[in-house]
Amino acid sequence: MKDIISQYRIENEPYYRVVSDEVAIYEAAYSERMPMMLKGPTGCGKTRFIEYMAWKLQKPLITVACNEDMTASDLVGRFLLDANGTRWQDGPLALAARFGAICYLDEVVEARQDTTVVIHPLTDNRRVLPLEKTSELIHAHADFQLVISYNPGYQTIMKDLKQSTKQRFGALDFNYPEHAIEQEVVSHETGVTQEVAGKLVSIAKMARNLKGHGLDEGISTRMLIYAGNLIARNVEAKKACRVALVSPITDDPDMRDALDAAVTTYFS
Amino acid sequence: MRVVFNRLASELKNYLDPGSVEVSDDGRAKSRFVDVQRRLRIYLRALWDCEFVIKEAGVDSVGEAVDRPFIEYSVINLPRAFFDCTPDTAGSVPGREIYRAAATHAAAHLLFTKNPFSARSLDKFPMAIISVIEDARVEALSIRSFPGLKSLWAMQHTATPKDNTSTGDYINRLARALLDDAYQDDDAWIKEGRALFNSIGDLEDQQIARVIGIKLADSFREKKIKFNASLDRPNVLYRDDNRYLWRRRAQPLEIFTPFFKSRSSVGKEDGDKESKNRTAPIPDQAENGKPVSATYFYPEWNYRSRTEDQSWVTLRERIPVAGDMAIIDSIIAENQHLISRMKALIRAIRDGAAHRIRKLEDGDEMDINAAIRARIDISQGMPPDLRVMMRTQRKTRDISVLMLLDLSRSMNNKIKERNLTALQLTRQVSILFSEAITTVGDPFAIHGFYSDSRHFVEYFRLKDFDQPYDEVPKARIAGITGRRGTRMGAAIRHATFHLNNQKSGKKLLLILTDGEPSDVDAPNRKYLHDDTKKSVEDARRNGIHSYCISLDPDADQYVSRIFGNSNYMVVDHVKCLPEKVLLIYAGLAR
C-alpha cells in the first residue's frame, strides 16, 4: 500500500520565491498539524507554495480541485462494484488521513456546503474521519495535515465558507508580490531578461489599479509567466501581452483599448 | 439559452457603444469626446491609480468652440472632437491618440506641477518659454515611469529645422527637441535649451523650469525676432494651454490633490463628541406636512464605546408625494429599447422546466440509461459508475428584493460627464428595474430615505411588496426629491424590518447611493461608516443579502469596508447602469 502514497511525493524542489515569513509560519503550523487556509487572488502562488512546503517537509501532497458537483463520497471514498462483488475505494481525503499526507483542497468554496462539513472532524482535536459506509473510523496519521485554498474576492456572492468551517483554520494571506520579487519570479520561470520581466510586472500593476473599476480581477503572476513564456518563444512582446494578458481578462472594448495602450507604454 | 443571452448582451453593447470614429465632411476621420472619455478614464486610472475628472469643453467666453485642452479647477477639459491629422513624417495620428496624449499630458501636470508659477515681473515671452520647459519636465517625469508615453507624445510633434520664421516656430522646435532625442536640430539656441534641460539634476524640482526658461528667453533676444503672444502659440494639439501653470490674480492656489488621497483622510476623531452633545433640531413642519404613518426607534452603533446606543434614532415613515406621471412616461418612452432588452434578459433567468439532477448515488428514481451503462460495465468486468439514481427538481425562484434609494441632497448633483443628476438617474434605474422585474413576478419593493440628524430619519415606501406596480408607485417614484443627509444605518435597519416580514427564502437588499453615509449631527465619518457596517451585518444575520451600487467613483475606499469585498459595485459607466443592476439581480437570484 505504501506505493500508492509514494506517487504523491514531490521529488524535485519546486521553484518558490519566499516573500516574507510565510515559510517559517507554515512550518510552525505544520509542527502543530494546524489546518491551514491559503487566501489570495488567483494565480498569486498559493498552489506553488504548498507544493514547495510539501517538498521541504518531505511529505506527500494530495491535491483535490473542488467543484460544485463534488459530493462527500468524492472526498471520503465509495464502494465500487467489480466483477467479483464490491470493493471499498478510499477517496483522496481518506487516503491522506490514513497514510499521512498533506491534503490540499483547492478552491474549497466551490464545493457544496454539505461536502465541506466532512472535513470538520479532521480539523479539530479529534483528528478522525468516520467512514459511514464501512463503519470505520480512521484516526489520522501523525503526519496528516489539511490545507485549503480560498479566494475571497471572486466567488459568487451567495457562496461563502460557513463560519464553523472558517474558524477551524489558520490563514495565510497571499497577494501578488512586490515589484522586484515578482520581476524575479517572472524572469526565473520564463527565462526572459529582468528588463522584460520588469516591464511585464509594471503592466500588471496598471491592470491591478483597475480592479473594481471595470475589471473583476487584476492580471495575475501566472498570466505574466504565460506572457513571458510566449516572449521567450520569440513572439513579439506586444502580441504576447495581448494574447496572455489583455484578451483573457476582459471583453469590454473600452477596457481592452485602455489595457492595450497600457501595454504600449512599455513595449512599442 | 446561453446563446440567446450572449447575443442579447452583444446587441446591447452595440447599442450602447457605437463606433468611436466618424468621418467628417472633408473626409478626415474624427474622434468625439463622448466616445473616448471612458477609455481615457480607465487608461489614466491604470497609469496612476487615481481618479481624474475629464470633461468635454464646450464653448469659450466668446462662443467659439474650444479647440485646445485646458485644466481648470483640477478638471481636465478636452475639446469636443479631434480630427485625425497627418504630420509630415510619422504618418497619420488618429484622433483618439491625440485624446490619449492630451489626457496623459494634462494628468502629468496635475500630478507633477505642484505649485503654480508666479507671473509677477515676467513678460509674456519668458512665460511662454517657461511653459515649454515645464511641459517637457512633467513629460520627462511621466516617461521615467512609463517609457511608451514618449513615442505617443513625440509622434505629434512636427516642427523641423526648416521652420525658422517666427518665434512660434522656434518654440515648437524647442518643445520637440526637449522631448524627442532622435530629433536633429543644429540651431545654437535649441542646442543650448537641450543642454540646459539635460543637465537638470532633480527633475522633481519645479523651480528649475523657471530658471532655465528665463535664461533661454534672454539668449533668444540675439535672434531679434518679435514675439506675438496671440500668434506664436505652440502648434502641438495635445498640449493644454498651460493656464494651469500660472497663478492668477485674486484666485486661491489651485493645487491638485488626487482624489483617492483626499478620501482616505477619513474620520476626524474630534467629531464624535459632537454627535452626542448636540441639540435637537426643530422639525420642519412646513416642508414635511405629509402625515406620519408610523414611528420607529432604532439603535445605533457607537464604535468608540463598542456598544449600541438603544433607541438612538427616530425613524418615521411618511407618505410619499406623487409626482408628475409625464416624467415616468417619458423615461419609459425614451428607454423602450433598453426595457425590452432587459425583459428578454430577465426572462432568460426565469423558471425553467423541471430539472433532472442525474448521477446521484441516492436519488428519488432510477436513471435507466445510467443503470444500463453500469450493467454493461459489470458484464465487461469493469468497475461501473454507481451513480445510477436521479432526482427531479423544479427550480423555483424564491426571492424578495427591496431597493433602497438614497434621497439625500447630494443626489441633486450632476453626475460627471452626464447632463443628468444622480436623482434623475436613480429614478430611471428604479423605473427600468420595476418594469423588468414585474415580468417575472418576484415580490419587490422600492423604498427611499433621507435624514436630518438622528431625530429625523424620514422613510418613504414608494412601492411595497404587496402593492401592484401601477400608477400609484410610478407617480411616487416620479415625485422623489433629494434633500438633507444620508443616515444609512437606520434606513438599512428599517428595510431589514420590512424584508423580515417577507417569507421568501432569499432576500436581497439593493442600496442605490451616490456617496457615503453622512448627516448633520455626525461630522465624524467613521461613526456612520461603522454604524452602517453594523447594520449590514445585522441584516446578514437575518438572512438578508445587501448589495450596494454606488455612483461615487471614489467610493471603493469605504464601500468595500461597509458592504464587504464582493458586495458592491462602483458604477464606472452610468449609461449601462440599468442593465448592470439587472445583471447583479440575476446573478444573486439564480
Closest-approach residue (CA) in chain A for B50: A209
Identify which of A155, A158, A268 has the shortest CB distance to residue B151: A268
| Interface contact flag, A265 B587, Cβ < 8 Å | no
pLDDT at B394: 63
Q: Count the neighbouring beta carbons within 10 Å of the beta carbon of residue A15.
A: 11
The contact set of A with B (CB < 8 A) is: 69, 71, 73, 78-83, 87, 152-158, 202, 206-207, 209-210, 212-214, 253-255, 257-259, 261-262, 264-268
Domain range for B23 is 2-259
Least confident of A31-45, B127-141, B218-232, B409-423: B409-423
Give B505 or B61, the one with higher predicted confidence.
B505
Q: Is B117 exposed, middle or buried (0-12, 13-18, 19+ CB in 10 A)?
A: buried
Structure-block grid coordinates of residue A193 = 531578461
Residue B28 shares a structural domain with residue B131: yes
> Of the candidates B394, B418, B452, which is a domain's last residue?
B394
Mean pLDDT score across all residues of chain B: 76
Predicted confidence band of residue A127 (pLDDT cuts 50, 70, 90): very high
Among B7, B42, B387, pick the best mutation site for testing chain A contact (most A Cβ within 10 A).
Answer: B42
Is 70 exceeded by the pLDDT of residue A63? yes
Given a contact cutoff of 8 angstroms between Cβ atoms, the answer to whether B302 and B276 are in contact is no
pLDDT 10s digits, B100-110: 899 999 999 88
| Interface contact flag, A258 B384, Cβ < 8 Å | no
Size of the A and B interface in Cβ pairs below 8 Å: 97
Q: What share of chain A is helix, strand, coil (3-state, %, to 5)?
A: 45, 15, 35
Q: What is the mean pLDDT of residues A208-231?
A: 88
Give contacts of A207 with chain B, Cβ < 8 Å.
Answer: 46
Q: What is the mean pLDDT of residues B420-434?
A: 81
User: Among the ranges A77-91, A144-158, B190-204, B576-590, which has the highest mean pLDDT value?
Assistant: B190-204
Q: Count the neighbouring beta carbons within 10 Å of the beta carbon of residue B177.
A: 23
Identify which of B49, B374, B588 has the shortest CB distance to residue A158: B588
pLDDT at B16: 44
Total domains, chain B: 3
Assigned domain for B137 exists: yes
pLDDT at B18: 42
The interface pTM score, or ipTM, of the predicted complex is: 0.70
Give B23 or A54, the one with higher predicted confidence.
A54
| Interface contact flag, B386 A81, Cβ < 8 Å | yes
Predicted confidence band of residue A12 (pLDDT cuts 50, 70, 90): very high
Assigned domain for B116 exists: yes
State the Cα–Cα distance between residues A7 and A5, nearest whole angstrom: 5
Is 60 exceeded by the pLDDT of residue B268? no
Assigned domain for B508 exists: yes
Residue B230 shares a structural domain with residue B296: no
Predicted confidence band of residue A85 (pLDDT cuts 50, 70, 90): confident
Among B39, B359, B580, pick the best mutation site for testing chain A contact (most A Cβ within 10 A).
Answer: B39
Is 70 exceeded by the pLDDT of residue B266? no
Distant-in-sequence, close-in-space partners of B531: CB < 8 Å, separation ≥ 6: B300, B301, B302, B303, B489, B517
Least confident of A16-30, A131-145, B308-322: B308-322
Residue B124 shares a structural domain with residue B103: yes
| Interface contact flag, B46 A83, Cβ < 8 Å | no
Give B217 or A59, the one with higher predicted confidence.
A59
Q: What is the mean pLDDT of residues A118-126?
A: 91
pLDDT at B466: 83
Residue B302 shares a structural domain with residue B359: no
User: Among the ranges A186-200, B174-188, B294-308, B559-573, which has the highest mean pLDDT value?
Assistant: A186-200
> Of the candidates B394, B425, B457, which is a domain's last residue?
B394
Closest-approach residue (CA) in chain A for B143: A265
Residue B40 shares a structural domain with residue B138: yes
Write the CATH number for B572: 3.40.50.410
pLDDT at A232: 95
pLDDT at A107: 87
Predicted confidence band of residue B92 (pLDDT cuts 50, 70, 90): confident
| Interface contact flag, A81 B384, Cβ < 8 Å | yes
Give A243 or B258, the one with higher predicted confidence.
A243
Is 60 exceeded by the pLDDT of residue A28? yes
pLDDT at A22: 93
Residue found under cell 515648437:
B172
Residue B432 shares a structural domain with residue B472: yes
What is the widest separation between alpha-carbon atoms in chain A?
A: 67
Closest-approach residue (CA) in chain A for B36: A254
Residue B24 shares a structural domain with residue B138: yes
Distant-in-sequence, close-in-space partners of A232: CB < 8 Å, separation ≥ 6: A190, A191, A192
Assigned domain for B124 exists: yes
Assigned domain for B173 exists: yes
Residue B382 shares a structural domain with residue B509: no
Given a contact cutoff of 8 angstroms between Cβ atoms, the answer to whether B559 and B568 are in contact is yes
Structure-block grid coordinates of residue B200 = 537638470
Residue B340 shares a structural domain with residue B363: no
Q: Is B447 exposed, middle or buried (0-12, 13-18, 19+ CB in 10 A)?
A: buried
Assigned domain for B84 exists: yes
Give contacts of B152 with chain A, Cβ < 8 Å.
Answer: 264-265
Is 70 exceeded by the pLDDT of residue B259? no
Predicted confidence band of residue A49 (pLDDT cuts 50, 70, 90): very high
State the Cα–Cα distance between residues A260 and A239, nearest whole angstrom: 10
Residue B408 shares a structural domain with residue B467: yes
Among A254, A264, A266, pick the best mutation site for testing chain B contact (most B Cβ within 10 A).
Answer: A254
pLDDT at B87: 55
Least confident of A17-21, A29-33, B85-89: B85-89
Q: To which H or E segment does residue B449 belong?
A: strand B444-451
Q: What is the mean pLDDT of residues A132-156?
A: 84
Assigned domain for B440 exists: yes
Identify which of A79, A157, A268 has the shortest CB distance to residue B566: A157
Q: What is the mean pLDDT of residues B145-170?
A: 84
Residue B51 shares a structural domain with residue B182: yes
Q: What is the mean pLDDT of residues B307-331?
A: 81
Q: What is the mean pLDDT of residues A15-24?
A: 93
Give contacts of A209 with chain B, Cβ < 8 Å.
Answer: 45-49
Cα atoms in the 13 Å half-sphere on the side-chain side of B380: 10
Is 90 exceeded by the pLDDT of residue B309? no
Residues of chain A with pLDDT > 90, as a percent, come to: 62
Which residues sit opposite A131 in a β-bridge? A136
Distance of CA A49 to the CA centre of its chain: 8
Least confident of A244-258, B88-102, B312-326: B88-102
pLDDT at A58: 94
Predicted confidence band of residue B10 (pLDDT cuts 50, 70, 90): very low
Residue B297 shares a structural domain with residue B434: yes
Give B446 or B559, the one with higher predicted confidence.
B446
Closest-approach residue (CA) in chain A for B41: A258
Q: What is the mean pLDDT of residues B233-250?
A: 77
Residues of chain B with pLDDT > 70, as a percent, come to: 78
| Interface contact flag, A157 B556, Cβ < 8 Å | no
Assigned domain for B454 exists: yes
CA angle centred on B246, ends B240 and B249, rounded to 5°: 130
Closest-approach residue (CA) in chain A for B146: A265
Residue A137 distance to chain B (closest CA, Å): 22
Q: What is the mean pLDDT of residues B7-36?
A: 57
Distant-in-sequence, close-in-space partners of B361: CB < 8 Å, separation ≥ 6: A71, A73, A78, B386, B387, B389
Among A213, A238, A249, A260, pick the best mutation site for testing chain B contact (most B Cβ within 10 A).
Answer: A213
